[in-house]
Amino acid sequence: MSEATFRGGVHPYEGKELSSDLPIKTVMPTGEMVFPMGQHIGAPATPIVAKGDKVLVGQKIGEASGFISANICSSVSGTVKAVEPRMLLNGSKATCVVVENDGQYTGIEGLGEDRDYTKLSNDEIRDIVKEAGVVGMGGAGFPTNVKLAPKEPDKIDYILVNGAECEPYLTSDYRQMLECPEEIVGGLKVILKLFDKAKGLICIEDNKPEAIAKMEKMVQNENRIEVKVLKTKYPQGGERTLISAATGRKIYSAKLPADAGCIVDNISTVIAIYRAVCKCTPLITRVMTLTGDAFEKPVNVNVRIGCCHADLVAEGGGFKQEPAKIISGGPMMGFAMFDLNVPVTKTSSSILAMTTDEVALNEPTPCIRCGRCVSACPGNLVPQKMAQAVSHNDYDTFVSLNGMECYECGSCTYACPAKRPLTQLFKQARQHVAAQRRKK
């Protein structure tokens, strides 16, 4: 069993033992459901329902408003209460369709019916994925139908299923590999139908031996699919690092994975493709991990998109004590939540509740030029020099140091003994440079 990896990276405390052995629990929400129209990269969807309308499970309530956009489907049946701005995870407000859940979960006609993907044309498959509102569920939220339609499909050599789940604490992908491997392989076979020359690689870190064994058993008779074992290291699951580790190919910020002959999809996304194409079910649910030492009982939950984060806390037994910090996502690339009264979206992956805010305890000190940030950076950058440029508002130098190639993965910040907020600096600098470029 060979292990593939990339240059750089770090080994933070994993924390996965809190929830890795806990089966996925299905949660059926009650009351109000809130569906943001912007749950993806690109233009927000346009609401196509109004106050007072009756909706069904699987019904489209928001329509993609551009090439890079995605449909939004209701996860419950009920009555539209409002179409109005509501607070989102990042603290901003955006247009949402608010549905009063009737608790009946009445579905649209044909919801859940079996469908033979082998009898569908490639265009029909892409249209189904688009209609179902499937997007990248690993965090980016890129519309999947667009990803499955590269300019030169004949040049796609690899379909990479990202099962690395390198972010600490998160175990939702791991549990899905154990509990529904048939759907993962089924979704991958749907994608492979679109690309005749491609090979499917299910990429899993070596700290998940049970998942590796399960998936290897599932694909033992599949001549176009194999399991690729990766060395456990953060950020192994990043798109560029995954491509490098699994195929040896390189891409940069100006390129797409398709430019390197690759398409990368998260475990949850591949399952969503399977359900949309083979089970006539749009993207209306997702699996999340509720974990951290502040939770009484960490748990993995299958939740309906649109439910409230605050309502999920009880599924983890509530909090042992008031959390010092709550993070949406993992500790490396997630972001702090200041209010749990916000809806679950297609890209929500976890609620991480901690009794101690370690970041707040770390007082930054001057750089000692130790070079640890350079060794940790998976992008082969020099964070120390980049930070110096940003601190002087010298964005030209930041760009010349390839600062726009930063993954914002947090490896440099984690490795820094001076506890300098490097990733935060680079995130702000990249946003500034991008804004200036748009103006020009």
Point out the annotated binding site for [4Fe-4S] cluster.
367, 370, 373, 377, 406, 409, 412, 416
Beta bridge partners of 95: 85
Is a pLDDT exceeding 90 seen at residue 226? Answer: yes
CA atoms within 13 A on the CB side of 47: 20
Are 315 and 290 a contacting pair, CB within 8 Å?
yes
Identify the CA nearest to 236 among candidates 267, 204, 213: 204
Q: Could you report the per-residue pLDDT of 263-274, keeping only the tens digit for each?
A: 999 999 999 999
Point out the annotated binding site.
367, 370, 373, 377, 406, 409, 412, 416
Is a pLDDT exceeding 70 seen at residue 208? Answer: yes
Question: Residue 178: its pLDDT value, please?
Answer: 98
Q: Could you tell me the residue ranges of all domains in the chain?
A: 16-20+111-278, 372-439
Omega of the bond leading into 235 within 30 degrees of 0 (cis): yes
Local confidence band at 132 (pLDDT 50, 70, 90 cut-offs): very high
User: d(Cα 415, Cα 437) in Å, to the nearest integer?
Assistant: 31
Question: Residue 231: its pLDDT value, please?
Answer: 96
CATH architecture group of domain 16-20+111-278: 3-Layer(aba) Sandwich (3.40)
Question: Residue 72: its pLDDT value, please?
Answer: 98
Q: Could you report the per-residue pLDDT of 39-91, keeping only the tens digit for each?
A: 999 999 999 999 999 999 999 999 999 999 999 999 999 999 999 999 998 88
User: d(Cα 32, Cα 99) in Å, to the nearest integer?
Assistant: 6
Question: Residue 90: its pLDDT value, please?
Answer: 83
CA separation (Å) from 45 to 64, 82, 338?
5, 16, 26
Q: Could you report the per-residue pLDDT of 145-171, keeping only the tens digit for each?
A: 999 999 999 999 999 999 999 999 999
**Paired tokens of 439:** 């103006």
User: d(Cα 171, Cα 20) in Å, to the nearest integer?
Assistant: 6
Identify the CA nearest to 193 among candidates 280, 118, 269: 118
Question: Residue 1: its pLDDT value, please?
Answer: 42
CA atoms within 13 A on the CB side of 30: 0
Local confidence band at 139 (pLDDT 50, 70, 90 cut-offs): confident
What residues have CB less than 8 Å from 146, skipping those under 6 apart? 67, 68
User: d(Cα 192, Cα 176) in Å, to the nearest integer?
Assistant: 20
The burial class, CB within 10 Å (0-12 / 13-18 / 19+), for 230 is buried
Of 3-12, 233-242, 340-349, the range with the lowest mean pLDDT is 3-12
pTM of the model: 0.96
Question: Residue 182: its pLDDT value, please?
Answer: 98
Is a pLDDT exceeding 90 seen at residue 358? Answer: no
Q: Rounded to an integer, what is the distance from CA 337 to the centroid of its chain?
A: 17
Question: Residue 142: its pLDDT value, please?
Answer: 95
User: d(Cα 373, Cα 323) in Å, to the nearest integer?
Assistant: 30
Question: Residue 3: its pLDDT value, please?
Answer: 66
